[in-house]
Structure 1
Amino acid sequence: MKFKIDLKIFLITFLFFMTSQIKIYITMMICAILHELGHLIMGIILGMKPEKLEIIPIGIRITFKLNIKDINKKVKKANKLEIKKILIAIAGPAINILLIIISATTKINIIAKINFIYANLLLAIINLVPIYPLDGGRILKGIITIFKGKQKGEQTINIISIISTIITTIIGTIAVINNKNIAIIFFIIYIWAIVIKENKKYKNRKIIYELLEKNY
Structure 2
Amino acid sequence: MGWSFRVARVSNIDIKIHATFFLIVLLFAFQWGVANGLAGAAFGSLLIILLFACVTLHELGHSITAQRFGIDVREIVLLPLGGVAILSRNPAKPMQDLLIAAAGPLVNVVIAIMLAVVLALTGDLSMLGASAMVQGIDAPLTWTTMLLWLLEANILLVIFNLIPAFPLDGGRILRAVLAMFIGQRRATRIASVVGQGFALLMGLYALLTLQFLLLLIAVFIFFGAGRENVEEQASTVLSTQRVGDAYNKYVLTLTIGDRISKVLDYILTSYQPDFAVLQGNRLLGIVTRDDVLNTLARSPNDSNILDVYVTTVMRREVVRVDANATLDEVRTVMGEQSARVVAVYEGETYLGLINQDDLAEAFTVLSFMERFRRRPPSGTTASAAEVAQDTQ
TM range (shorter): 0.7 to 0.9
Describe the superposition over 1:129-183 as per-residue Cα deviations: whole angstroms up to 9, x where unpaired.
1121111111111222232123311221122112222344466679x78xxxxxx
User: Within the alignment, does 1:131 sit opposite 2:131 as a pair?
Assistant: no
Question: What is the Cα deviation at residue 96 of structure 1?
Answer: 0.7
Match of 1:56?
A: 79
The amino acid that maps onto 1:193 is: F
Q: Counterparts of 1:189 and 1:27 in 2: how far apart (Å)?
A: 23
Unmatched 5+ stretches in structure 2: 1-12, 33-43, 124-143, 235-363, 375-392
In the superposition, the TM-score normalised over structure 1's length comes to 0.74
Give the stretch that moved more between structures: 114-123 or 13-22.
13-22
Higher-Rg structure is: 2
Match of 2:107?
A: 95
- The change in CA–CA distance for 1:31 and 1:108 in structure 2 (over 3 A counts) is farther
Paired residues in the alignment total: 198
Match of 2:60?
A: 37
SS of the aligned residue for 2:164 comes to coil
Give the stretch that moved more between structures: 99-108 or 127-136.
99-108
Q: How does 1:187-202 map to 2 (within 5 A)?
A: 187-199=214-226, 202=229
Q: Counterparts of 1:3 and 1:102 in 2: how far apart (Å)?
A: 24
Q: How does 1:130-149 map to 2 (within 5 A)?
A: 130-149=164-183
Q: Answer whether contact 2:202 2:214 (CA < 8 A) is retained.
A: no
Describe the superposition over 1:36-89 as per-residue Cα deviations: whole angstroms up to 9, x where unpaired.
12112322333433223323224432233348xx74xxxxxxxx2x32121011
Give the stretch that moved more between structures: 101-110 or 195-204.
195-204
Q: Answer whether contact 2:74 2:87 (CA < 8 A) is retained.
A: yes
User: Within the alignment, does 1:212 sit opposite 2:239 as a pair?
Assistant: no
Q: How does 1:152-171 map to 2 (within 5 A)?
A: 152-169=186-203
SS of the aligned residue for 1:129 comes to coil
Match for 1:9 among 4, 13, 21? 21
SS of the aligned residue for 1:132 comes to coil
- The change in CA–CA distance for 1:215 and 1:2 in structure 2 (over 3 A counts) is farther
Match of 1:181?
A: none
Q: Counterparts of 2:145 and 2:29 in 1: how far apart (Å)?
A: 20
- The change in CA–CA distance for 1:118 and 1:201 in structure 2 (over 3 A counts) is closer
SS of the aligned residue for 1:63 comes to strand
Describe the superposition over 1:82-139 as per-residue Cα deviations: whole angstroms up to 9, x where unpaired.
3212101100101111111121122244323311210101111111111211111111
Q: Counterparts of 1:98 and 1:201 in 2: how far apart (Å)?
A: 29
In the superposition, the TM-score normalised over structure 2's length comes to 0.44
SS of the aligned residue for 1:48 comes to coil
Match of 1:115?
A: 149
In proportion to residue count, which structure has more strand?
2
SS of the aligned residue for 2:74 comes to strand
In proportion to residue count, which structure has more helix?
1
Match of 1:180?
A: none
- The change in CA–CA distance for 1:22 and 1:2 in structure 2 (over 3 A counts) is closer
Q: Answer whether contact 2:59 2:76 (CA < 8 A) is retained.
A: no
Give the stretch that moved more between structures: 53-62 or 193-202.
193-202
What percent of counterpart residues are identical?
Answer: 25
- The change in CA–CA distance for 1:45 and 1:201 in structure 2 (over 3 A counts) is closer
| RCO comparison, higher one (Cα < 8 Å, 6+) | 1
Q: Answer whether contact 1:16 1:22 (CA < 8 A) is retained.
A: yes
- The change in CA–CA distance for 1:39 and 1:127 in structure 2 (over 3 A counts) is same
Q: Counterparts of 2:99 and 2:19 in 1: how far apart (Å)?
A: 30
Give the stretch that moved more between structures: 100-109 or 162-171.
162-171
Q: Counterparts of 2:122 and 2:64 in 1: how far apart (Å)?
A: 27
Q: Pairwise CA RMSD of aligned residues?
A: 3.2
Q: How does 1:77-88 map to 2 (within 5 A)?
A: 80=93, 82-88=94-100
- The change in CA–CA distance for 1:151 and 1:46 in structure 2 (over 3 A counts) is closer
